[in-house]
Structure 1
Amino acid sequence: FLAGLLLDAARFPLLYNLLASLLKVGILVGYLRFIGRLPEIKRFFMYHGAEHKAIHAFEKGLPLTVENVMAQPRFHPRCGTTFLAFVIVVSVLVYSLIPAPQVLWWRLLARVLFLPVVAALAFELLYFSARHEDPLSRLLRELGFRFQALTVAEPTPEMAEVAIRSAEAALGKRVVA
């Protein structure tokens, strides 16, 4: 809405989508920073970090012990938070290619119809960047990690233990002797 007050979407689709996305990202970042200070949410973000650490240890083939889990990085290249960041970036590009009709319901319908395309492209970017070491992949991962810094905190050893038990439940087996 605010972007529409500043720019004509039909005449400047790329700038409009860029401005609209920057406003959305600004609101989202502000919201995440605010709620991240609440004790319950901070604790939730710490469990998110424990989950990432447990996944790293599992993917490296390490025994899932508290020591091994706590030694892993808290950011993960295939995190849902990174996916969200990629959805935002891809949506700017995709929606900029779609002519912006003046009728609001038509513009909303176009966005809904193209959402699967945006999500699919973002998903492919996520997996591509996680599996390659070229400069573009490293840049994409860094973007994702910076966004994850809003939703992932360093866990306690007790939280790592919970993440280990959760991994075992998800795998249907005990992964530590």
Structure 2
Amino acid sequence: MTNLYVADKLQRVTPAYPDDSLLRAAELLVQGGAGVLPIVSAGEPIGILTEQRLREAIAAGANWSEPVGDWMEEAFTPIRIETPVETAATYLANSMLPAIGVDAWGRYVGVVSLAHLIARPVAPVSVGTIGGMATPLGVYLTNGIVRAGAGDIGLALTGALLLILYLAASWMVMGSAQWAQTHLGIPLLSYYDSPYAYTWLASDLMGLMLRASEFLLFLLLMRMLPIAGTHAAEHMVVHAIERGEPLVLEVVRRMPRVHPRCGTNLVAGVALFLGLANFLQGMMPEMSEMRDLALLFALLATVLFWRPFGELLQWLATTKPPTDQQLLRAIRVGEQLLQRARPYSGVVPPFGIRLLRTGLPQILLGAWGTLALLSLLERLLGITLILG
């Protein structure tokens, strides 16, 4: 039983609430098949109902409509689900009390019995929904409870890298526009700063194209960096885990590098809506009812096409075919996540933990920190680093 935990051998019994009737509790007791029915309040176990206790209630003249909370037993043993099987089995062998499996926050997860700890086949690990990030330090994976791979520093570096890539794209576009205006007499910089954006004047269309080129150049720079291959490797490992495939190179190589839950899709949806809304509304006269219609059309188009557009951006820009080394490193992170998730199989973490595990706070902190550093350098050196 080495490397097995209580979470691997739990009985997933649907609990009752104190206000449930004895009839409902009896039904759940039969359905659970564990001989013990947990009674929970606010997610935490507060008592149990056994067949012996049910017989006592009937013998005492209890009505089937009475709340089970009046007849539950409060004597039980909570056991953390990350407890090794050997430790839990030794404890239960010397205890007469029923045992309830709880997570790290004391919330009910399942019923624990000595017989199941010893004899029950290992249940598949319930990892839950997996999220991930590609960072300069490698793949980051999480299921909202545990995480594996790149740590907080890697996530913060991702935020810094994304900001630097965007600024680099802006520098290149504005620098090229200024060079063309100075040396060739083509007023590209004036077009870029045009105050009449999103109209049909030639200068404004040129300005719109220049601003759109920043986004395209940003995507091109991302595609050129190794992080695009790391991003693809992350997607492919997540696909393999979600399909129940073994994490071996030959299998993971066959997985798609586009994933439907990638954050690129969300960015694509926002960009699609804002781009269409600004462009279409800019074509309409001021105070025109058609502006509202244009906004509605932009919303409808976004709802219909944001996911295909996001998947196209993933394929063309934010991912590229990974190397075998990138895949192998991502596979190791995936195996690490599965190992760490096993003791917490089926646990639902609090919102704050889930938010922290997404990596978004660390990414934002990295971007803001880089922005603050660049602002400080601007003041100290008297140069312009942040454009736009």
Correspondence for 1:167: 334
* Residue among 55, 58, 63 paired with 2:246: 63
Q: How many angstroms apart in 2 are the aligned matches of 1:164 and 1:54?
A: 6
Correspondence for 1:54: 237
Match status 1:146 vs 2:312: yes
Identity fraction in percent: 32
Indicate the SS of the match to 1:61.
coil
Q: Counterpart amino acid of 1:146?
A: L
Residue pairs, 1:15-164, within 5 angstroms: 24-34=211-221, 36-37=223-224, 41=225, 43-92=226-275, 136=304, 139-148=305-314, 149-164=316-331
Flag the structure with higher strand content.
2
Q: Counterpart amino acid of 2:233?
A: A
Unaligned segments of structure 1, at least 5 residues: 13-17, 99-120, 129-135
**Post-superposition offset of 1:48:** 0.9
User: Are residues 158 and 34 of structure 1, via their aligned partners in 2, closer, same or farther at CA, if it must alter by over 3 Å?
Assistant: closer
Using CA pairs below 8 Å that are at least 6 residues apart, which structure has the higher relative contact order?
1
Q: Deviations 1:5-49 (Å, cap 9, x if unpaired)?
A: 25268xx7xxxxx99886544212113314533xxx1x2211111
Could you say what the CA RMSD is over the residues aligned between the two structures, in angstroms?
Answer: 3.5
TM-score by length of 2: 0.28
Indicate the SS of the match to 1:143.
helix
Q: Deviations 1:70-129 (Å, cap 9, x if unpaired)?
A: 101111122122221112123346778x9xxxxxxxxxxxxxxxxxxxxxx9xxx8xx8x
Correspondence for 2:196: 7
User: Are residues 56 and 169 of structure 1, via their aligned partners in 2, closer, same or farther at CA, if it must alter by over 3 Å?
Assistant: same
User: Are residues 161 and 35 of structure 1, via their aligned partners in 2, closer, same or farther at CA, if it must alter by over 3 Å?
Assistant: closer
Q: Counterpart amino acid of 2:260?
A: P
User: Are residues 21 and 69 of structure 1, via their aligned partners in 2, closer, same or farther at CA, if it must alter by over 3 Å?
Assistant: farther
Q: Counterpart amino acid of 1:83?
A: L
Is the Cα contact below 8 Å between 2:192 and 2:211 reproduced in 1? no
User: Are residues 20 and 51 of structure 1, via their aligned partners in 2, closer, same or farther at CA, if it must alter by over 3 Å?
Assistant: farther
Q: Counterpart amino acid of 2:196?
A: L
Q: Deviations 1:120-160 (Å, cap 9, x if unpaired)?
A: x9xxx8xx8xxxxxxx3xx4332112211212011122211
Q: How many angstroms apart in 1 are the aligned matches of 2:334 and 2:207?
A: 39
User: Are residues 159 and 51 of structure 1, via their aligned partners in 2, closer, same or farther at CA, if it must alter by over 3 Å?
Assistant: same
The alignment of Structure 1 onto Structure 2 pairs a total of residues equal to: 128
Indicate the SS of the match to 1:154.
coil
User: Are residues 140 and 80 of structure 1, via their aligned partners in 2, closer, same or farther at CA, if it must alter by over 3 Å?
Assistant: same
User: Are residues 57 and 165 of structure 1, via their aligned partners in 2, closer, same or farther at CA, if it must alter by over 3 Å?
Assistant: same
**Post-superposition offset of 1:165:** 1.6
User: Are residues 88 and 140 of structure 1, via their aligned partners in 2, closer, same or farther at CA, if it must alter by over 3 Å?
Assistant: closer
Q: How many angstroms apart in 1 are the aligned matches of 2:324 and 2:197?
A: 52
Q: Which segment is superposed worse, 18-27 or 139-148?
A: 18-27
User: Are residues 20 and 173 of structure 1, via their aligned partners in 2, closer, same or farther at CA, if it must alter by over 3 Å?
Assistant: farther
Q: How many angstroms apart in 2 are the aligned matches of 1:143 and 1:8?
A: 24
Flag the structure with higher helix content.
1
Indicate the SS of the match to 1:73.
coil
Q: How many angstroms apart in 2 are the aligned matches of 1:8 and 1:144?
A: 26
Correspondence for 2:147: none
Is the Cα contact below 8 Å between 1:21 and 1:92 reproduced in 2? no
